[in-house]
DNA sequence: CATTATAGCTAACGGTCGTTCGCATTGTCA
DNA sequence: TGACAATGCGAACGACCGTTAGCTATAATG
């Protein structure tokens, strides 16, 4: 269990349990036990269950913000279609297997209707941030003559959406992981065939 | 409230309430009240809360199966890109505004991890059925020379994924409905530019 | 050293949960 | 009409919920 201070341990315990059974499915005593104390002691650190939940959300949100800060710099742009796909596959592997990211996704899926704040974060997390990242990247690749000239925002949407959707599928049916990865791989290849500059003839 | 028999009324009440607050957020007394009786009377019709939930899921699943049975027959195939998009926009309007469909989506989103059965239905509902529908349609359109020849399965995936993702966004942020519809419309146009046969020059 | 804040605990509160029991009412059918 | 199943109800059960109060031990502070 990550987290050094008790406050942090509580948040990581909450993250893990809420990801398993949802907000209403977890009692405060269980969170406390996982964090190494008794239920009432939680109230020395947080105002209540809702406060624990919100604090945990803000923690993973900032964790995510940091991890996502690694937008590729100009000189790190992929310089070919193959490099683009390799880069995307690496991001995929991280997203699919990082523990915190996985739990965060599950919570967002289950609790997306709990508040406007969470709804907003969910949309950002599942769609907008990814689309924005690739919009910038594709605009640059179009300039460099690697991608065909097109509206980079919508090319990014086409690129990102199947991945996001298939990751959701993996989240709820992890036994189909292989199938998901294969389909994403094939989707990338199909994307390359359609949008790359130097590809002659398709189909 | 739809449903004539008490059994049915209970399921529709459960559908509505579970869609609002999730399984754990709704008590049996509330379901009963909405169905016009008292909590303990539910047990004359179902074995318990879980049974109500599962029965409700099977009801909407079969409701969905029927509604989805309207796969276009060969002679109803769209005969142009414009017709294809018009058809898709009509399906979209239905999906976005039909009450039962909306509630079903919310429940699947919140309860997708509750059982393998629901996980499976969620994937079918959000991805596989749509992809399958358009895979068939696109294969035919490729034969007729309306769409460029390509792997219809992946063309369908590219077509369907942004729509599904943007509908999820609409579900949790209905105040952004206009934006969602615009983006889907633009996505369709972009798709047409990329994949239609008779389109010269893009960008 | 005396004081005070911090952080843990047990006990207990009022409330809600899903469920069961026993009884009353109604409708069906011989 | 009498028997019986079907369907409703109120009362109540044990379990669990989030939270508060009050006590204790330790750590920090003057």
Q: What does the pLDDT look like over A4-32, one tens digit per residue?
A: 899 999 999 999 999 999 999 999 999 99
Helix axes A6-21, A49-68, angle to 10 degrees: 90
Work out the minimum CA distance from A102 to partner chain B, whole angstroms: 13
Is residue B154 within 8 A of residue A186, CB to CB? The reply is yes
Mutate to test the interface with B, among A151, A157, A184, A185 (most CBs of B within 10 A): A157
Is residue A127 within 8 A of residue A164, CB to CB? The reply is yes
Interface membership of A201 toward B (CB under 8 Å) = no
In chain B the domains, ranked by start, together with CATH numbers, are 1-59 (1.10.10.60), 70-201 (1.10.357)
How sure is the predictor about B67, in pLDDT bands with cuts at 50, 70 and 90?
confident
Q: State both tokens at B11.
A: 């399921």
| pLDDT at residue B48 greater than cutoff 90 | yes
Residue A50: the pLDDT is 98
The 3-state DSSP class for residue B17 equals helix
Residue A67: the pLDDT is 73
Residue B65: the pLDDT is 80
Instruction: Find the Å distance, CA of residue B37 to C1' of nucleotide C25.
Output: 15
Q: State both tokens at A61.
A: 């949100």
The HSE-up count of residue A197 (CA atoms within 13 Å, CB side) is 13
Residue A4: the pLDDT is 85
Question: What is the number of other CB atoms lying within 10 angstroms of the CB of residue A131?
Answer: 24
Residue A73: the pLDDT is 64
A173 vs B202: CB contact, 8 Å cut-off? no
Phi/psi of residue B73, nearest 5 degrees: -75, 165
Instruction: Find the Å distance, CA of residue B4 to C1' of nucleotide C26.
Output: 19
Is residue A155 within 8 A of residue B96, CB to CB? The reply is no
- Protein residues closer than 7 Å by CB to strand C: A 6, 32, 37-41, 44-45; B 26-30, 39-40, 42-43, 48-50
SS3 labels along A77-130: CCCCHHHHHHHHHHHHHHHHHCHHHHHHHHHHHHHCCCCHHHHHHHHHHHHHHH
Is residue A141 within 8 A of residue A76, CB to CB? The reply is no
User: What value does the mean pLDDT take over residues B126-135?
Assistant: 96
Q: Which residue of B has its CA nearest to A203?
A: B150
Neighbouring residues of B122: CB distance < 8 A, sequence distance ≥ 6 = A172, B108, B109, B112
**pTM across the whole model:** 0.94
Is residue B92 within 8 A of residue B195, CB to CB? The reply is no
d(CA A68, CA A155): 20
pLDDT, tens only, A117-154: 999 999 999 999 999 999 999 999 999 999 999 999 99
B165 closest CB neighbour out of A150, A164, A186? A164
Work out the minimum CA distance from A189 to partner chain B, whole angstroms: 10
User: What value does the mean pLDDT take over residues A187-197?
Assistant: 97
Which strand C bases fall within 7 angstroms of a protein CB? Answer: 6-12, 16-22
pLDDT, tens only, A71-108: 666 668 899 999 999 999 999 999 999 999 999 999 99
B113 closest CB neighbour out of A106, A112, A158? A106
Q: State both tokens at B28.
A: 């049996």
pLDDT, tens only, B76-115: 889 999 999 999 999 999 999 999 999 999 999 999 999 9
d(CA B187, CA B192): 9
Which strand D bases fall within 7 angstroms of a protein CB? Answer: 6-12, 16-22
Task: Give the CA diameter of chain A.
Answer: 67
Interface membership of B58 toward A (CB under 8 Å) = no
- Distance set, CA B54 to CA B32, B60, B107, B120 (Å): 16, 10, 12, 14
Q: For residue B32, give the nucleotide whose C1' atom is nearest its CA.
A: D8
Q: For residue B37, give the nucleotide whose C1' atom is nearest its CA.
A: D8
B187 vs A109: CB contact, 8 Å cut-off? no
Quick one: which residue's CA is nearest to C11's C1'?
A40
User: What value does the mean pLDDT take over residues A148-166?
Assistant: 98
- Distance set, CA B102 to CA A96, A112, A123, B24, B124 (Å): 28, 15, 18, 19, 16
Q: Which residue of B has its CA nearest to A168?
A: B123
Is residue A180 within 8 A of residue A167, CB to CB? The reply is yes
Torsion (CA) B100, B102, B108, B111 in degrees, nearest 10: -90
């Amino acid at each position: 269990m990550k987290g050094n201070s008790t406050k942090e341990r509580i948040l990581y315990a909450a993250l893990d349990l809420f990801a398993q059974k949802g907000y209403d499915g977890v009692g405060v005593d269980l969170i406390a036990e996982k964090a190494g104390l008794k239920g009432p002691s939680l109230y020395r650190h947080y105002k209540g269950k809702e406060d624990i939940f919100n604090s945990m959300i803000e923690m993973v949100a900032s964790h995510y913000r940091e991890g996502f800060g690694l937008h590729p710099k100009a000189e790190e742009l992929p310089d070919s279609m193959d490099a683009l796909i390799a880069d995307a596959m690496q991001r995929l592997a991280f997203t699919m297997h990082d523990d915190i990211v996985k739990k965060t996704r599950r919570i967002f899926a289950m609790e997306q209707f709990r508040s406007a704040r969470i709804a907003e974060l969910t949309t950002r997390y599942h769609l907008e941030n990814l689309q924005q990242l690739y919009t910038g990247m594709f605009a640059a690749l179009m300039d460099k003559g690697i991608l065909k000239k097109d509206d980079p925002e919508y090319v990014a949407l086409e690129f990102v959406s199947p991945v996001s959707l298939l990751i959701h599928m993996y989240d709820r049916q992890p036994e189909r992981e292989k199938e998901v990865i294969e389909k994403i791989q094939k989707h990338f290849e199909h994307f390359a065939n359609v949008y790359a500059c130097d590809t002659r003839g398709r189909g």
